[in-house]
Amino acid sequence: MKNKFSICYIIIDKNEGESFFLRSSNYLLKLSPLLEKINNLPISIPELLCEKEEKIKIRISGIYPGRIIHFIEDYNEIENLPYVFKVVFIDERFTKAVKKCGTILYISINKDIAIENTLSHEEINIDVLRNFFFSKIKEQDSVYTDLPDTYKREHIETDIKIDENISIFCNIKTLESINLFFNPKAICNKDKNENIETSINLINKIKNKITSNMHIELSIPSVDYLITDFTIDLEYSINAKKYSKHALMRNQTIDYELISDSISYAKTSTDIDSSHYNNHIAEYQNELYFNSLISSIYASSTLTPEIKIRICNNDLFSLVSDIGKNIRNSNISKIQKMMKTFSSKVIDKSDTMFDYFSKTSNKQIKIISNFPLEWTNVNGLPLMIRHNTSRIFNTPGFIKQNILLNNNEVSISLDSFKKILVISSFKAGERISNDIKNELHRVIKECNDPSINSVVNEKVSKKGSYIPNFEMEVIFKDVTNKNELVDSLNSFKFALVIFDMHGGHDYDGHGFLELSGEILYPYELMGLANIPPIVVLSACDTSPADRNHFNAANAFLCAGAKTVLASTYPILSRDAAIYIGRLYKRLRYYLPERILFTKTSLRWSEFITGLNRRVYFDYFLM
């Protein structure tokens, strides 16, 4: 079924390698001006036809998916993308093998080639999109007939002055996406924190004004705050000696001194807006601003303010490495003290910005960082317990780009959970091989016990709730190799898969899953296996804080998963089994009650946060 309302912006992503510090696409880095322009264009067809207040309301409500920028490898992929309104940016003439469609808007991004009947990207604006909609799109479907056209060319005016720097660049671009432009955009001599707070407060004020003056029914709760930092590829911390001046000189690296200095700078500095003689530091600055632009394209979809905290690799890497060493050596006596140190450092580097949510709960928070900032103790509770949080890695940038730029929410129905796939792989006779299976069999038996159900029904009926008649089938598959695992995945058409096996991540290598017959590097599944949108990895070190970014969790995101629940350090099999059992109960009882009783959608991150809260309070407070 085609998406009839989103505008899909399509770019061919040429393979020109990855950037040095954040592993972003070099080709997209060159296209930063184009991406900035796209960020100021409408996200959906209704935005083409409405006034500025309605546009903001649409974004806050989550009625339509966020901005969709789709990357392709070949122009022949365009026809199969499930969108009615497609805007394709091209930089070469079409070959005879490529079919040019009259209902697709083509925009040239190559100044050196004149492409017949194609506008230049410098000419594209909302008027171009409106004209194309009325001339080519509107007659395609009757759903557009009743859409009123109340569009006015207008801006949001403000007399607020603000300095542009890396800490507020994302927020400035988010505000510009709703036609708010600072005038003049000049030096106003504000304190840096005051500048950041001004940008956050302005976004929140606009959202609050629209929410209070216009009736908004939230379709999906939008992200309240986006937390980012200055972390770069952890490779430069894990193998720091490899990038010292002496090591680079021995390897006859050109500009070895400048490169080593730039790496040291990137691992320690957050005040990056001053000029530098070192061209490699200038490249790092460009990467950071590109990174913030990507964050803004994501944040603009829901008018989410960014909080950029002053954390670099050197601030936390040694600490999370020491935590990992102690956990792996079963030496937990120092862990509590280390966790307090972790929280203290994060709070200190946040410069009171966490005050925006330290005294509230249940905010929707997205974190982009190479460190588990969700552990931070905020006013007595970990951030991941106080609020509904989810995190993606800051590197590699090419994975983050695919997640943030193609911001198409995936809707999953209750029926998609009627079957759950558990893929197990252990060598014969392993003591832990049946932990998850036994726990799930026990929980399912308990859920089906009439005597237990009658007691539960009596208790919940007194609270005015109910237990829906929702049962889930758990499919257990034992596999020994990659081919069997791929076959199991490709024959499964539901939403959730659980991987039950050993895992790990070599100190200087890739994350892996240990099958009974071979080692599987999950990146091998790309293009081979149908990955369900929700992946649970019940294995050790699938998203480690002290290893490089080639981990199992990132691999599954590359292969097609929309969300991955993974482990930061080694986990005990019995604890993992209990957690999976509780996940089953929450899916069977809480999820259908919440959806059917409240008649509202639920974010997966909020669902998991609720589960984590119950586990947290059981383990640490009971």
The CB-side HSE value for 178 (13 A sphere, CA atoms) comes to 29
Does the pLDDT value for residue 487 go beyond 90?
Answer: yes
Residue 334 lies in a domain: no
Please confirm whether the linkage preceding 396 is cis (ω < 30° from 0).
yes
Average pLDDT over residues 59-82: 89
List, for residues 362-373, the tens digit of each pLDDT value: 999 999 999 999
Domain end, chosen from 86, 118, 144, is at 144
Task: Show the CA angle centred on residue 10, arms to residues 389 and 603, nearest 5°.
Answer: 20
The CB-side HSE value for 129 (13 A sphere, CA atoms) comes to 24
Rg (C-alpha) for the chain, rounded Å, is 25
pLDDT of residue 484: 98
List, for residues 211-245, the tens digit of each pLDDT value: 888 877 766 778 999 999 999 999 999 999 999 99
CA 229 from centroid of its chain's CA atoms? 14
SS (H, E, C) 37-64: HHHCCCCEHHHHCCCHHHHHHHHHHCCC
Of residues 577, 19, 92, 483, the one with CA closest to residue 284: 19
Domain end, chosen from 112, 144, 176, is at 144
Residue 280 lies in a domain: no
List, for residues 135-192, the tens digit of each pLDDT value: 999 999 999 988 999 999 888 888 888 888 999 999 999 999 999 987 655 555 567 8
Q: What is the CATH number of the domain that holds 614?
A: 3.40.50
Q: How confident is the model at residue 621 (pLDDT cuts 50, 70, 90)?
A: low
Does the pLDDT value for residue 305 go beyond 70?
Answer: yes
Average pLDDT over residues 548-576: 93
pLDDT of residue 172: 96
Of residues 90, 80, 136, 98, the one with CA closest to residue 114: 90
Residue 96 lies in a domain: yes
Q: Which domain holds residue 573?
A: 414-620
Which tokens in the block code for residue 521? 């590097």
Does the pLDDT value for residue 82 go beyond 60?
Answer: yes
pTM, full prediction: 0.94
Q: How many domains does the chain have?
A: 2
Does the pLDDT value for residue 544 go beyond 70?
Answer: yes
pLDDT of residue 209: 92
Residue 312 lies in a domain: no
Residue tagged 């899953």 (tokens) = 513
Burial class (CB in 10 A: 0-12, 13-18, 19+), 112: exposed
pLDDT of residue 388: 96
418 to each of 472, 492, 536, 581, how far by Cα in Å? 4, 12, 16, 16
Residue 65 lies in a domain: yes
Return the higher-pLDDT residue of 115 and 26. Answer: 26
pLDDT of residue 459: 72
Domain end, chosen from 144, 170, 193, is at 144
Residue 210 lies in a domain: no
Segment of 37-51, 406-420, 462-476 carrying the highest mean pLDDT = 37-51
Residue 132 lies in a domain: yes
Task: Show the CA angle centred on residue 490, arms to residues 432 and 565, nearest 5°.
Answer: 50
Residue 608 lies in a domain: yes
